[in-house]
Amino acid sequence: MSKTRDFQNLINEPGSFILPGAYDAMSARLIEEIGFKAIYATGAGISNAQLGWADVGLTSLKEVVDIVARMTEVTTKPIVVDGDTGFGNAINVLRTVREFERAGVAAIQMEDQVSPKKCGHFSGKEVISKEEMVGKIKAALDARHDENLAIMARTDALAVNGIEDALDRAHAYSEAGADIIFVEAPTTIDQLQQITHSLKGIPQVINLVEGGRTPLISLKEAEDLGFKIMLCANTVLRSAIKGITDSLRILKEEGSQENLLNLICTWEERQSLFKLNQIKEWEKKYLYSE
């Protein structure tokens, strides 16, 4: 079964699920190893980890495609890619979808921000017109070769124009053919309830950013509210930053690794994650065969 079909089954079967964010092949593989059902290729995480800059639209389509292709190569789980604004207008979206589809993704998220975009929980965002975004969604649907490739439409209008405009856009994006709707950065439980009530019956995303605008809730609470996907886009990246910082601080202050061993994986865990045994099997089969 294809990864696109796997993801369609996920969004259509009963129950909600957590979608953790990966920023490279290693973090994608870890998410699969722990047992999550799908992986999110986070635009913010890729910008942070690969460029060393904040999520303000600095990454190019080619950079993201290359990184996501490495993720799909080493994982069996469906990957949802953060496609930002589609990297341009509706004509650019045609190419964006084809590039991501060739890279092996199962779903593409696009948002209605003005390009260059900003993180959904940053201030100072701007949005394009509803009509322009509808055109982008239609272009995305026409560009895909696999009809199971899911299109996730995100609106950032709540922070810019208020909840009524955000809901109006969400309905328009669903009517245009988007498989999943994502109203970004609600700030209260009442707004969360208003969103799911208004869009009842449509698969929806709640994006939970630690320290962001949306209140942190559990998966059960998200499901009870009516959200299908609980997106935790940068939990993995931020835990990695904390772990690396703590390890480096001990190494710098103490000049020894003795007291940081509990902060790092074992030698065996590292080699297991990166499939050293598989490589050794290939060596025996291909390098040393008679």
Asked if 280 and 252 sit in the same domain, the reply is yes
pLDDT band at 192 (very low <50, low <70, confident <90, very high): very high
pLDDT averaged over every residue in the chain: 96
Asked if 53 and 149 sit in the same domain, the reply is yes
Asked if 39 and 141 sit in the same domain, the reply is yes
Dihedral pair phi/psi, residue 287, rounded to 5°: -100, -30
Asked if 153 and 195 sit in the same domain, the reply is yes
pLDDT of residue 120: 74
pLDDT of residue 11: 96
Across the range 255-267, mean pLDDT stands at 96
pLDDT band at 232 (very low <50, low <70, confident <90, very high): very high
Per-residue pLDDT for 231 more than 90? yes
The range of the structural domain enclosing residue 271 comes to 241-287
Asked if 38 and 156 sit in the same domain, the reply is yes
Query: CB-based contacts of 168: which residues, under 8 Å, 6+ apart?
Result: 130
Angle subtended at Cα 15 by Cα 13 and Cα 17, rounded to the nearest 5 degrees? 100
Asked if 132 and 257 sit in the same domain, the reply is no
Q: What is the CATH number of the domain that holds 209?
A: 3.20.20.60
pLDDT of residue 142: 98
Q: How many domains does the chain have?
A: 2
pLDDT of residue 288: 77
Asked if 257 and 233 sit in the same domain, the reply is no
DSSP state of 104: T
Asked if 248 and 221 sit in the same domain, the reply is no
Element (H, E) at 110: strand 107-111
Asked if 40 and 121 sit in the same domain, the reply is yes
pLDDT of residue 1: 63
Buried b or exposed e, range 260-277, using 16+ CB within 10 angstroms: beeeeeeeeeeeeeeeee
- The model's pLDDT over 103-117, given as tens digits with 9 standing for 90+, comes to 999 999 999 999 888
Asked if 72 and 109 sit in the same domain, the reply is yes
Asked if 54 and 189 sit in the same domain, the reply is yes
- The model's pLDDT over 38-66, given as tens digits with 9 standing for 90+, comes to 999 999 999 999 999 999 989 999 999 99
